[in-house]
Amino acid sequence: MAGDYDLVVVANRLPVDRVTEADGTTAWRRSPGGLVTALEPVMQREDGAWVGWAGSPGDPPEPFDAEGVRCVPIGLSETEVEEYYEGFSNGTLWPLYHDVIVAPDYHRRWWESYVRVNRRFAERAAEQAAERATVWVQDYQLQLVPQMLRELRPDLHIGFFNHIPFPPFEIFAQLPWRAAIIDGLLGADLVGFQRAADAANFTRACRRAKGLPARSGRIRLDAEGGREVRAASFPISIDFRALSDLAQTEGVKARAAEIRRDLGDPQFVLLGIDRLDYTKGIPHRLKAFEELLADEKVQASEAALVQVATPSRERVEQYVQLRQDVEVIVGRINGTHSTIAHRAVHYLHHSYDKEEMAALFLAADVMLVTALRDGMNLVAKEYVAARHDERGVLVLSEFTGAADEFGQALLVNPHDIDGLKETVVRALRMSPREAGRRMRALRRRVQEHDVQRWATTFLQALEEHAGTRGIESVDRAEDPA
């Protein structure tokens, strides 16, 4: 049975968080993520609904309206949180899709839970969507939803966007359920990725795992009368205007100055802001900073590194281990290089609101983004958007999606500690003129390619493709040896 909504977004998390007000009552408030901002105008215009998990185990609340969006909560039991979310999503797929930085765990029970929960999301989405509505499924937690939805509702236009990398086939091939994942994604009309390389990896996986004729981002399904699926890149972005404006408010500017004062007015402030995740290369950047202090390339008294590490997935074993590792390194650096008057590393295991983040960005001379693998890395784009003063230098890992767009950042291989150290020194000593020229180019890029443009471009491409569902001839491409 068809529902009322012309646009349905399906994501692991709802776009709102439950908050407790001063008077003790609870309410829903929009979460800080960019996806919500990107989709809010379209959701309001198109009569949108959002299907997602409310973030804690147990029975789901009834559907409700929040900030103009219909929210349809999905319930997950304690066991499903362990097996579908912490297990298969974040203990199997997350490390597998991020270059096996840590070893993925393969458990059949986790997989069964993933299938069961994906079916629940698909069923709820099918109930909400109007006749021939557009359904946009988000991210690796829900890769089976497109196919399940198509079986339930062949009339729908289905898009999928993968926010994280899609790995090369040689790595993806480890997954015991690789063919089922490909089948799941191919339920969509359009499968979107961050980088062209991710789309190419996916197309190749369709050939290698399923023997499908696929080339130039078009995969033909002969079993479905030649239905064609399109795979392409749509690099995600941020709400440039909102952050740039926020960073220009007097409150944020004053707070940035206060942060520098509280740090003891060092000559250089370096900054890292990440979820505490092993993909982010936090130990690598700490090691580089530690060696720079030890070699006296940077004087401990002249520099402070602020590392914000937002708590994340805290019950997953590899995250527990990472936290211990990071805290040992921070303790060692501070034990060796801090004085009563000056601390070398300010490590903050908290999350902050957007005003405080904007102030931190403004206070930082050098932003360190040293991810070992990252689908995009929106922090890099946020730093640039906040720097309306056209100051500050971005040091950016080559292994982020953002590196494809940010030729004017100082690109680094975070595994190359000597190279990273040299780049940090270069960033610290860069002339204001050169830094300004680079920052202007980076800002222009994000301003012209903001998250609103990302959402519109994806939805237009989906409508063009699904609207016609054209069957073009596709060669059966031979995979090069």
Give the binding site for ligand G6P (CB under 6 A): 12-13, 139, 163-164, 312-313
Token pair recorded at residue 375: 């689908």
Shortest reach from residue 313's CB to ligand G6P, in Å: 5
Shortest reach from residue 139's CB to ligand G6P, in Å: 4
Token pair recorded at residue 184: 């799941």
In the bound complex, which residue of the shown chain has the CB atom lying closest to ligand G6P? 163
Nearer residue to ligand G6P within complex by CB, 5 or 84: 84
The contacts found for 333-342 with CB under 8 angstroms, 24 or more apart, are 333/286, 333/289, 333/290, 333/293, 336/290, 336/293, 336/294, 337/290, 337/293, 337/294, 337/300, 338/300, 339/300, 339/301, 341/264, 342/264, 342/266, 342/300, 342/301, 342/304
Nearer residue to ligand G6P within complex by CB, 12 or 134: 12
Nearer residue to ligand G6P within complex by CB, 12 or 92: 12
DSSP 223: G
Shortest reach from residue 163's CB to ligand G6P, in Å: 4
Nearer residue to ligand G6P within complex by CB, 12 or 201: 12
Nearer residue to ligand G6P within complex by CB, 101 or 212: 101
Distance CA 100, CA 472 (A): 36
Nearer residue to ligand G6P within complex by CB, 312 or 338: 312
Shortest reach from residue 442's CB to ligand G6P, in Å: 21
Nearer residue to ligand G6P within complex by CB, 162 or 452: 162
Do the beta carbons of residue 397 and residue 414 sit within 8 Å? Answer: yes
CB within 8 Å of 9: residues ≥ 6 apart = 39, 43, 48, 49, 50, 51, 52, 135, 136, 138
Say how many C-beta atoms besides its own lie within 10 A of residue 90's C-beta: 20
Shortest reach from residue 103's CB to ligand G6P, in Å: 19
Which stretches of 282-375 are DSSP H helices?
A: 282-294, 317-337, 354-363
Shortest reach from residue 421's CB to ligand G6P, in Å: 29
396 burial class (0-12, 13-18, 19+ CB within 10 angstroms)?
Answer: buried
Strand order in the sheet with 393-397: 345-348, 303-310, 268-275, 366-369, 393-397, 410-412
Shortest reach from residue 84's CB to ligand G6P, in Å: 12
CB within 8 Å of 369: residues ≥ 6 apart = 272, 377, 379, 380, 383, 394, 395, 396, 397, 400, 402
Do the beta carbons of residue 200 and residue 239 sit within 8 Å? Answer: no
Shortest reach from residue 53's CB to ligand G6P, in Å: 9
Nearer residue to ligand G6P within complex by CB, 354 or 388: 354
Shortest reach from residue 162's CB to ligand G6P, in Å: 8
Nearer residue to ligand G6P within complex by CB, 139 or 228: 139
